[in-house]
Amino acid sequence: MTRNSSEKPKSRAATKVGTTVTKDNLKALGADRLADLLVELAGQDAALTRKLRMALTAVHAKDKLGKEIEKRLRTIQRSRGFLPWDRIRPLAAEIDTLRQSILDDVATADVGQAISAMRLLVELAPSVYERSDDSSGYLSDVFREAASDLGTLWGRQAGRDPAIVVTDLLTLLDHDGYGTCDHLLTLCGTALGESGAVMLRTMLVKRLRDLPASKEKEGYHTDIARMQIIGHLRDLADAMGDVDAYIDAVSLSDRQSAYIGGVARRLMDKGRHREALGWLDRETEEDSRFYRENDDLRIDAYEAVGDRDQAQALRWNVFRERLSLPHWKAYQRHLSDYDAIDAEEEALDHIRNFPNRSVALSTLLEWPALDEAARLVRHHTAELDGRDYGTLRPAAERLSEVYPNEATLLYRLLVEAVLDRALSRYYAYAARDLASCRLLAPMLTEADGMETHEAFMIRLKAAHKRKLGFWSLIAEP
């Protein structure tokens, strides 16, 4: 039988469309066939059986779902076997599914039951951590999310006694040795209300006053307890949106400089810009990391109070110190067209003379000013570090089309940096860089005494002829 010439054979991709496991394709099987497959698979997979049972409970017995979830959580809590690395992710996925079901399904029917289940999930964390290695962070992410959800659920329960919230909250915080409840308090503003916040603040301040005086090495635990209580006071202030309470908490710390930016940011959010500047002016050590971290806050504060000259001066200083192009662009946007021309030349001149040549090269490429970048490579090759492959390799690629000489100089630096140190694990990268040199060789000119590719290869082989592992990767004709 001959095929009609007008008929086109189905493509291989088209024939596979119906067999790809997607939601639409599975729907085509029909409910009965899917149910048969799930029953068959559930008989071989306990995890799938549990998941299906939970889904059925959510549909047919929603009022019992919370109890079913708690039953599963207690089973996990009672387990004592060590969890190898390959079981961490599946367990985290199961716990996260339970967490989501509590938040979305159980809470819809009974917020009180949801609170009970979510609290049990949070309290489950220590027993799981103690028998596992959570270096991946999968478990900790789920448990922290659950703690945050608990704060949200407390806030959704109408008529909840703030005193009970305070008691439950302190119990969880006091027994949290793994940082599970790090973000819980900041989400309890609604649940606490003003009366609960006052009650909790009073209790925390009393705890602080009752701590024994620190005595150098013997006072380590006292200092830790003091830091934790002050941290709780800061979180409580944030939960209630009370910047003055936050400032009061910071004033109790011995390390107020670390929180200057935090205070200023919160004051800015409240529209108290001059007070924010006052706090930022407390930073006097311009070489401290906190001072530099708060530069953008200072700029925003200066703009907010109408001091454009100070804002511009700071933008320019940040650019000069770090070659920060975002600050340069912001500075340029506030200039007139006439002033922008002179400022651009001054900025480029500053980049040309910046002592860290690699940073200067990256900045010129980002500007973009490829001619200036090529000039920097040409005149300052010896000041570039061939080990800085994160800068030099992208620079070589950018320059290769228009500036083959300069691109070749960079590729050669990369090759020699590997061979000079006999870094055999990087030989494959060096071989690719040398191949790039070979591709650029026909485009090289003799300008500025540029060494030919042939001369470079002779020199390279003479200096590194014993590195057979490298030369075995080279297909040089």
**Looking at residue 215, what is its pLDDT?**
61
Taking residues 427-451, what's their average pLDDT? 94
**Looking at residue 220, what is its pLDDT?**
61
Tell me: pLDDT of 198 over 90.
yes
Amino acid identity for residue 19 in this structure? T
What are the pLDDT digits (tens) for 363-383?
999 999 999 999 999 999 999
Q: How far apart are CA 381 and CA 358, in angstroms?
A: 10
Q: How far apart are CA 320 and CA 314, in angstroms?
A: 10
- Report angle CA 128, 133, 136 to the nearest 5 degrees: 105
Contacts of 442 (CB under 8 A, 6+ apart): none
Q: How far apart are CA 376 and CA 79, in angstroms?
A: 64
Banded model confidence at residue 1, pLDDT cuts 50, 70, 90: very low
CB 235 within 8 A of CB 186: yes
What are the pLDDT digits (tens) for 47-76?
666 666 666 666 645 567 889 999 999 999
Nearest to 229 by CA among 244, 248, 257, 243: 248
Please tell me whether residue 157 adopts helix, strand or coil conformation. Answer: coil
What are the pLDDT digits (tens) for 319-334?
999 999 999 999 999 9
* Residue 3 DSSP one-character state: P
Cα dihedral sign, 261-263-266-271: negative
- Report angle CA 7, 10, 15 to the nearest 5 degrees: 155
**Looking at residue 54, what is its pLDDT?**
64
CA distances from 452 to 220, 440, 448 (A): 66, 11, 12
Token pair in block for residue 384: 């570039």
User: What's the number of CA atoms in the CB half-sphere (13 Å) around residue 474?
Assistant: 21
CB 236 within 8 A of CB 259: no
Q: How far apart are CA 362 and CA 120, in angstroms?
A: 52
**Looking at residue 44, what is its pLDDT?**
67
CB 304 within 8 A of CB 268: yes
Q: Which letter, b or e, does each residue of 178-204 get, where b requires 16 or more Cβ atoms within 10 Å of its Cβ?
A: bebbbebbbbbbbbbbeebbebbbeeb
- What is the DSSP code string of 165-185? HHHHHHHHHHT-SSSTTTTTG
